[in-house]
Amino acid sequence: MRRIGLKFALTVIASLAGAGPVMAGESAAVRNCTWCHGTNAQGYTVAPRLAGQRSLYLESQIRSFRDHVRDTPFSKQYMWNAVAALPPDVAHDLARYFAAIPPKPANDGDRNYAAKGRSIYMEGIPEANIAACYACHGPNAEGIRDIPRLGGLSHDYLKTRLQQWGQGYHSTAGSPMPLVARTLGPDEIEALTSYLSFLN
């Protein structure tokens, strides 16, 4: 896990230090985000896709970065600064803007694991205390209210998130995810994140 972290960190330094792909016609406020989050906010290297994400979730994460609750290494390195001076009404508008962009699936998981991932997603593994993700994230992983859409997010991003909760990092105060993630082993994480990366 440590080694994966370092590999990601090097990728980020190499790719986020230069400008990511940028769309013409975006406002300056949007470009402040998409130069890392990619064309149309579809995600770029370690900066996740924001397109199609639930706006209440986007706003809750912006608050978590601002209040330094979400404390993963990339959050500290990139997002604490990016939102430090963002007024709440601009955060609200950006969240609604990104939520309305049709999301594209990353399709970067391992197809061989997708069926197993779907079964864990829908039913959990009761004998291992693994919760059905479906119960909170919805039947097609589209999310609800401030519970995020997972469908189509990149395999690497999802995997890092699930590993980081297990390592004691935080995201949102009162989140059930540290408890959920603690029950997942490497095989379950690989299966779930592969399945989710292919969902539209």
Residues that bind ligand HEC (CB under 6 A): 16, 32-33, 36-37, 46-48, 50, 53, 58, 61-62, 72, 74-75, 78-79, 82-83, 86, 94, 131, 133, 135-137, 147-148, 150, 153, 158, 161-162, 171-172, 175-177, 180, 192
Pair 105, 99: CB distance under 8 Å: no
C-alpha to C-alpha distance for 20 and 170, rounded to whole angstroms: 27
Q: Which is nearer to ligand HEC, 112 or 179 (CB)?
A: 179
Q: Both tokens of residue 167?
A: 């390592």
Q: Which is nearer to ligand HEC, 36 or 106 (CB)?
A: 36
Least distance between ligand HEC and beta carbon 112 (Å): 18
Number of neighbours of residue 163 by Cβ within 10 angstroms: 18
Q: Both tokens of residue 158?
A: 């999802």
Least distance between ligand HEC and beta carbon 193 (Å): 8
Q: Which is nearer to ligand HEC, 16 or 106 (CB)?
A: 16
Least distance between ligand HEC and beta carbon 105 (Å): 14
Least distance between ligand HEC and beta carbon 60 (Å): 7
Q: Which is nearer to ligand HEC, 112 or 144 (CB)?
A: 144
CA distances (Å), origin 118, targets 122, 123, 129: 6, 8, 17
Q: Which is nearer to ligand HEC, 111 or 144 (CB)?
A: 144
CA distances (Å), origin 137, targets 50, 132, 155: 16, 9, 17
Pair 57, 146: CB distance under 8 Å: yes
